[in-house]
Amino acid sequence: MKNIMVILIATFLFGINNNLNAQSESMDEFTVQVDGLGCPFCAYGLEKKFKELKGIKNVKIEMETGIMDFAYPTDKSLTIVQVEKQVEKAGYTPVSVSIKRADGSVEKSEEANNNASDLVSGELNDIQFFVAGNCDMCKSRIEKAAKDVEGVQSATWNKETKELMVRAVSDVAKSTLQTAVAEAGHDTKSVKANKDTYNNLPGCCQYERVQ
């Protein structure tokens, strides 16, 4: 009887252990390419803020490459869009996200983004205007906001002159671009960013407001 009890308890404990192992192994692996990690205080801040997410493990940012890796429980079903939003919420600009799910499947965001600018065709115009900003993180955010406007082929912001140069199909209006950039938190001479959006920018990005 005593032996049976020992076997039963051992089997029970073995079962619990296996279950715990299965749970701990069931993590999805994420790789996020983040743009504009020029300032260590802000970059380490991104890593720190991600570490605070419940269940997240192995958060690591490689500063030279801008690549952030982390693992997240599979049962939370974290999506590419949610990751991108979390990165943007922290004030950073995601370039690409890839997820290796626990079942071995892989999801990537890169192809969709690349195709968007490839699809731009027709007569192209250059549009140039002032956008307020400070640093490399600002540059990434401003350029992404402009590139996300349909019909934009390229966007380059100069940190020294504060001028944004956009190449887009002819029906993209300057005001549309200015609104997009302002919605990302950056003042132009015609359209100003919302106060809350501005306040949510990382400290290093809080430029002198345009009067």
Partner 1 sequence: MKRLLFTVLACITLFSCTKTNKEWQQFETIELGKITPIGFAFVANNIWIADGDHNQLVEVDEKGEILNTAVGFERPMHIDSKDGVLYIPEYGSDQIIKYGNGKRDILSLSDSLDAPAGVAVFNQEIAIADFYNHRIVYFDGQKWFSFGKEGKIKGELYYPTDVQILTDKIVVADAYNNRIQIFDKSGNSLKIIGEEEKMNAATGLYADDSEIWITDFENDRVLVFDHDGNVQQIITQGLSKPTEILKVGKMVYIANYKGKNFSTFKQK
Give contact residues for partner 1 (rule: CB under 8 A).
38-41, 44-45, 47-48, 51, 63-64, 134-135, 203-204, 206
- Nearest-approach distance from CB 64 to partner 1, in angstroms: 7
Nearer to partner 1, 133 or 151 (CB): 133
Nearer to partner 1, 48 or 85 (CB): 48
- Pick 33 or 206: Cβ nearer partner 1: 206
Least distance in Å: CB of 67 to partner 1?
Answer: 13
Which residue, 102 or 135, is less far from partner 1 as judged by CB?
Answer: 135
- Rounded to a whole number of angstroms, the minimum distance from the CB of residue 9 to partner 1 is 39
Q: Which helix (H) or strand (E) holds 61?
A: strand 57-62
DSSP class of residue 165 equals: E
Non-local CB neighbours of 120 within 8 Å, separated by 6+ positions:
151, 152, 153, 168, 169
Rounded to whole angstroms, how far apart are CA atoms 199 and 61?
A: 25
Helix (H) or strand (E) segment spanning residue 57 = strand 57-62
**Distance in Å, CB of 128 to partner 1, minimum:** 23
DSSP H or E run through 89: helix 80-89
Q: How near is the Cβ of 41 to partner 1 at its closest, in Å? A: 6
Say which residues have a Cβ less than 8 Å from residue 73's Cβ, sequence separation at least 6. 26, 27, 28, 55
Q: Which is nearer to partner 1, 64 or 126 (CB)?
A: 64
